[in-house]
Amino acid sequence: MKRMNFQTTFQQSETPSQTFLSCYAYTGGADSSYPKHCHSFYEISYIIKGTRYETLNQNTFKVENNSLIFIPPLSIHSLNNETQVEDVVIQFDHLFISNASILFEKNFMLKPAKNQKNYISIKKSDNLYKIFLKIRDYCKKRDSLLTDDEFSRREKLTIDLKLNSLCLEVISALIAENKVYIDTNGALYLDIEKINSLISEIVAHPQKTITMHEACRIAGMSYSHFSRFFKKVMGFNYINFCNFIRVRNAEELLLTTDMPISEIVEAIGFKTIAYFTKLFKQINGNIPSNYRKKYRV
- Tens-binned pLDDT, residue by residue, of the chain (297 aa): 566 788 889 998 888 878 899 999 999 999 888 888 889 899 999 999 999 999 888 788 899 999 999 999 988 898 989 999 999 999 999 999 999 999 998 889 899 988 777 899 999 999 999 999 999 999 999 888 866 666 677 888 899 999 999 999 999 999 999 999 998 876 777 778 778 888 888 888 888 889 999 999 988 889 988 888 888 778 788 999 999 899 988 988 898 889 999 999 999 989 899 999 999 999 888 899 999 988 776
Which tens digits make up the pLDDT trace of 250-265?
988 898 889 999 999 9
Measured CA to CA, the distance from residue 134 to residue 162 in angstroms comes to: 10
What is the model's pTM? 0.86
User: What local confidence, expressed as pLDDT, does residue 44 receive?
Assistant: 97
Give the rounded distance of the alpha carbon of 145 from its chain centre.
29
End-to-end CA distance of the chain: 17
Average pLDDT, the chain: 89
Domains along the chain? 5-183 (2.60.120.10), 197-295 (1.10.10.60)
